[in-house]
C-alpha cells in the first residue's frame, strides 16, 4: 500500500496558522514564485443553516455583503479590487459562504481592509435589501425557472432523499420567502453567523508571513469579537427503502435521470468516505470509465453521464448528510428504467469482480491531477485551505 501511495503525485505547501483574540482563525501559505495573492474569507453558514420561512436567505445575504460596508459606499469593493488589477467574487454552498479576491501581491493590505470592513458590518438598508431580493429572483428565473433542467439535480433530488428542512428545502428560495425578508432579519442573520469566531481568513501566494501577520492584526484585530453560534443539527435519518419521483420539465428537450446513495460522514468517517469519492471517478470520469464506456459508447442509452460526491460537486468541503450522485441525459425515446438497471448491473459487476488491472492507478492519477490543478492557483489554494481549516482544522 505504501509503495502504491508513493506513486501518486503530491505536493506540500507551507502553512502557518494562528487565531486572533476575537476568534478569527487565520491560515497563511506563502509561495513567492509569482507576485500574486489569493485572499479568502469563509463563514461557517450556508444553505443548510437558513431558518424555515427564510429559504434562499444564505444566498441573499451573500449578495448583501457586496452592497457597501461600515466605511465603504455601495460598489466601492468592486472599484477598489478592480482598480488594483484584481478579481473578486463570493459563493454560497450547503455548509459555508465564501468571499475572495485575486490580486497583485502589493495590494494585500487593500484586500485585508476590504474584507475586515465588511466583517465589521455590511450596509443593511431597505433599499439594498429590496434591490438584492430582485437580483436573486432574477437569478432564479434565469438559472432555474426559464432554463432546461434548471435546478437538476441539486434542487430537485434533496427533497426526494431527505426529510428534514435543512437538507430538503430549496436553497435558492421561494419568491414569497425572499420578498418577506426584512432588514431586521438580515441584521439578526449577520449577528448570528457572520461573527469573527465563525470565520476563517486564508491568504496564499507572494507574502512575507511576518508582514502579512502584522497587516492582518492591524485590520482584523479590532473587529468586534463574537463567538461562533451553535451549529444547527443537520442529522438525517438514513434511508430504509428506495425512493423515486419524476416531474415534467416543459423546457427540457430530452429526458434526464439522477440517482443518489447515502455515504459515510465525510468529516468523522473520512476513511470510510474516501472509497466513494474514488468510486464516482471509476464510474464516470473519462472515456475509459465504466458507465461512460457502457452507457454512452456501447449501449448508447444515454448521451452523457456524470458522477460526483455532494449535491454541489464538492467532495472535500461538505458535511454529513451527503450522497454519491449519478446523472444522465437520455436520447429521444430513452428508457430511464433500463439506464437504472444497467447502473445496478455495473455496480454489481464491480462489487463481484473488483477493479481491472491498472484501473485504480489510472483513477488515482486522474484524481491527483485534478486536485493539484485546483490548488495550483493561489486563490484555489486559499479557498481550499480556508474550508479545510474550518471543517477539519487541517488546512495542509
Q: Please name which of 394, 376, 384, 360 lies closest in space to residue 36, comparing C-alpha atoms.
A: 376
Q: What stretch of H or E contains 28?
A: strand 25-30
Q: What is the pLDDT of residue 3?
A: 45
Helix, strand, coil shares of the chain, percent, nearest 5, are 45, 15, 40
Give residue 27's pLDDT band: very low, low, confident or very high (50, 70, 90).
Answer: very high
Give residue 12's pLDDT band: very low, low, confident or very high (50, 70, 90).
Answer: confident
Q: What is the pLDDT of residue 314?
A: 86
Q: What is the pLDDT of residue 2?
A: 45
Mean pLDDT of the chain: 95
Q: How far apart are CA 171 and CA 97, in angstroms?
A: 13
The string of pLDDT tens digits covering residues 363-377 is 999 999 999 999 999
The string of pLDDT tens digits covering residues 58-98 is 999 999 999 999 899 999 999 999 999 999 999 999 999 99
Answer for the pair 264, 254: CB distance below 8 angstroms, yes or no.
Answer: no
Question: Is residue 247's pLDDT more than 50?
Answer: yes
The grid cell for 174 is 421561494
The CA-atom distances, in angstroms, between 83 and each of 107, 131, 135, 204 are 10, 25, 25, 20
Question: Is residue 50's pLDDT more than 90?
Answer: yes
The grid cell for 97 is 459562504
Question: Is residue 319's pLDDT more than 80?
Answer: yes
Q: Which of 128-137, 275-284, 363-372 has the least mean pLDDT? A: 363-372
Q: Quote the pTM value.
A: 0.94
Mean pLDDT across the stretch 167-172? 95
Q: How far apart are CA 227 and CA 229, in angstroms?
A: 6
Q: Which of 80-94, 213-227, 228-242, 340-354 has the least mean pLDDT? A: 228-242
Mean pLDDT across the stretch 35-63? 96
Q: How far apart are CA 299 and CA 292, in angstroms?
A: 10
Give residue 1's pLDDT band: very low, low, confident or very high (50, 70, 90).
Answer: very low
Answer for the pair 333, 303: CB distance below 8 angstroms, yes or no.
Answer: no
Amino acid at each position: 500500500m505504501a509503495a502504491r501511495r508513493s506513486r501518486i503525485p503530491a505536493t506540500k505547501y507551507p502553512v502557518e496558522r494562528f487565531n486572533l483574540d476575537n476568534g478569527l482563525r487565520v491560515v497563511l501559505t506563502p509561495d513567492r514564485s509569482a507576485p500574486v495573492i489569493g485572499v479568502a474569507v469563509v463563514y461557517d453558514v450556508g444553505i443548510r443553516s437558513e431558518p424555515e420561512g427564510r429559504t434562499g436567505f444564505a444566498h441573499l445575504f451573500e449578495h448583501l455583503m457586496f452592497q457597501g460596508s461600515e466605511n465603504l459606499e455601495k460598489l466601492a469593493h468592486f472599484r477598489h479590487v478592480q482598480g488594483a488589477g484584481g478579481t473578486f467574487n463570493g459563493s454560497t454552498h450547503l455548509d459555508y459562504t465564501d468571499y475572495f479576491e485575486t490580486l497583485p501581491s502589493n495590494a494585500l493590505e487593500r484586500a485585508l481592509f476590504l474584507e475586515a470592513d465588511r466583517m465589521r458590518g455590511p450596509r443593511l438598508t431597505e433599499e439594498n435589501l429590496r434591490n438584492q431580493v430582485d437580483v436573486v429572483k432574477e437569478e432564479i428565473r434565469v438559472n432555474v425557472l426559464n432554463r432546461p433542467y434548471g435546478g437538476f439535480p441539486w434542487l430537485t433530488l434533496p427533497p426526494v432523499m431527505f426529510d428534514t428542512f435543512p437538507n430538503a428545502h430549496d436553497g435558492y428560495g421561494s419568491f414569497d420567502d425572499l420578498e418577506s425578508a426584512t432588514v431586521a432579519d438580515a441584521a439578526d442573520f449577520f449577528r448570528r453567523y457572520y461573527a469573527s469566531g465563525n470565520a476563517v481568513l486564508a491568504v496564499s501566494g507572494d507574502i512575507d508571513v511576518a508582514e502579512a501577520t502584522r497587516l492582518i492584526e492591524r485590520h482584523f484585530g479590532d473587529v468586534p469579537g463574537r463567538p461562533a453560534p451553535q451549529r444547527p443539527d443537520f442529522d438525517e435519518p438514513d434511508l430504509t427503502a428506495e425512493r423515486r419521483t419524476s416531474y415534467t420539465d416543459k423546457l427540457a428537450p430530452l429526458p434526464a435521470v439522477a440517482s443518489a446513495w447515502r455515504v459515510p460522514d465525510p468529516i468523522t468517517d473520512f476513511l470510510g468516505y474516501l472509497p466513494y469519492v474514488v468510486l464516482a471517478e471509476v464510474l464516470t470520469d473519462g472515456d475509459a470509465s465504466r458507465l461512460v464506456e457502457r452507457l454512452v459508447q456501447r449501449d448508447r442509452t444515454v448521451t452523457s453521464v456524470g458522477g460526483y460526491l455532494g449535491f454541489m460537486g464538492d467532495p472535500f468541503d461538505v458535511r454529513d448528510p451527503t450522497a454519491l450522485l449519478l446523472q444522465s441525459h437520455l436520447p429521444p425515446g430513452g428508457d430511464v428504467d433500463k439506464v437504472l438497471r444497467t447502473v445496478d448491473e455495473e455496480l454489481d459487476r464491480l462489487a463481484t469482480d473488483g477493479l481491472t488491472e491498472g484501473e485504480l492507478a489510472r483513477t488515482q492519477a486522474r484524481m491527483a491531477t485534478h486536485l493539484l490543478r485546483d490548488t495550483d492557483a493561489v486563490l484555489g489554494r486559499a479557498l481550499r485551505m480556508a474550508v479545510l481549516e474550518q471543517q477539519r482544522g487541517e488546512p495542509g
